[in-house]
Amino acid sequence: MTSPLLDVHGAVAAPDDDAPDYGVAWHYGDPYGEQRAATRSVAVVDRSHRGVIAVPGADRLSWLHALLSQHVSELPERAGTEALILDAHGHVEHHLVLGQLEGTVWLDGEPGRTEALLDYLTKMVFWSKVEPSDATAELAVLTVLGPDAPALLDVDVPAYGIVPLEGGGFARRMPWPGRHAVDLVVPRDRLVDHWRRLTDRGARPAGSWAFEALRVESLRPRLGVDTDDRTIPHEVNWIEPAVHMNKGCYRGQETIAKVANVGRPPRRMVLLHLDGSPEVLPITGEPVRLGERVVGRVGSVVRHHELGSIALALLKRSAPVDVELTAGDGDHAVQAAVDPDSVAPEQTAPGREAVARLRG
């Protein structure tokens, strides 16, 4: 789905139609300035390519509770959370942000996955009184970022809260992408109007580049980019926000409990500092190597306004974190070093010297 906001003056589309954020603006001419605005003042990002699903019906909470990794059977009205759908082996299939408002649970997730998600949900209805449907054509997501976001908006949104908007849609505040950030889920036919109102009030237009750079800095994984078909939640920091460890059975729950109770996940997500001197950087899915040995895979790769070239990567737990690695293949291969602060304290080895060398 192509956003009408690509017609806004200065909008630059993603250069590759296979990019996960194809269809919305990549940047507006100054991606580093946009990142600074999103951290120091206020910016608005078009995320209208995300899929939105509505789940009304009397059994909506108990039905979703049986399918999701999160405890939602008692989700309060006007409250939100994150959740996962896992396969039978505990591998992540979908990551969702959800909330309940006025008799409906609203789910939104990664672009391009809505059809598969809705197909799964529909097959699981059986006798439950629920009617899941695709609402992407009716609703679109904008995200307002930065410490000045609360002053910009007309509504006061509590943490994990959802507030209805005048004229339709709702505002939602979740821990990511920042303490002050608010998602606006607005009627799609009023998307341009909402954008203009926000930018007229001082929000700087920011593209997906800025959003992704701040996401990577915060060690927040993205489904299908930082995950593969073997990823379990423990590997990518999804246990705390999206998995309830004490709820009853759901598909994949056995793996969740087993890894938590008797073992460690086979991989861990880390932040890599990349040698930014080459013009070409690694590509998502390419290997991370220690010498000639493959020890992981590259996930999200971005150029950050302060940290330079960085990436998320899934590394084998046995891989050392205090040595220089190589990220990428062929012409995309660059030197890389694990940021020690991205590794749990009990796993951290002294790797700051390697990072310092790569950053000059």
Q: Which residue has the higher pLDDT, 346 or 286?
A: 286
For the beta sheet containing 133-134, the strands, ordered from the edge strand earlier in sequence to the opposite edge, are: 79-86, 92-101, 104-109, 51-56, 133-134
Contact by Cβ (8 Å): 217, 307: yes
What is residue 350's predicted lDDT score, i.e. its pLDDT? 43
Residue type, 314: L
Contact by Cβ (8 Å): 282, 274: yes
As a whole-number percent, the residues of the chain with pLDDT over 70 amount to 96
What is residue 349's predicted lDDT score, i.e. its pLDDT? 43
What is residue 348's predicted lDDT score, i.e. its pLDDT? 43
Residue with tokens 């590997």: 235
DSSP code at position 75: P
What is residue 134's predicted lDDT score, i.e. its pLDDT? 98
pLDDT at residue 230 tops 50: yes
- pLDDT tens digit string along 168-206? 999 999 877 778 899 999 999 999 999 999 999 999 999
pLDDT at residue 8 tops 70: yes
Prediction pTM value: 0.94
- pLDDT tens digit string along 343-355? 976 444 444 555 5
Domains detected in the chain: 4-50+137-217 (3.30.1360.120), 51-134 (3.30.70.1400), 266-358 (2.40.30.110)
Indicate the pairing of strand 170-172 with strand 162-164. Answer: antiparallel
Residue type, 285: G
pLDDT at residue 283 tops 50: yes
What is residue 276's predicted lDDT score, i.e. its pLDDT? 79
- pLDDT tens digit string along 117-145? 999 999 999 999 999 999 999 999 999 99
CA separation for the pair 77, 341 (Å, rounded): 37
Mean pLDDT value across residues 61-75: 97
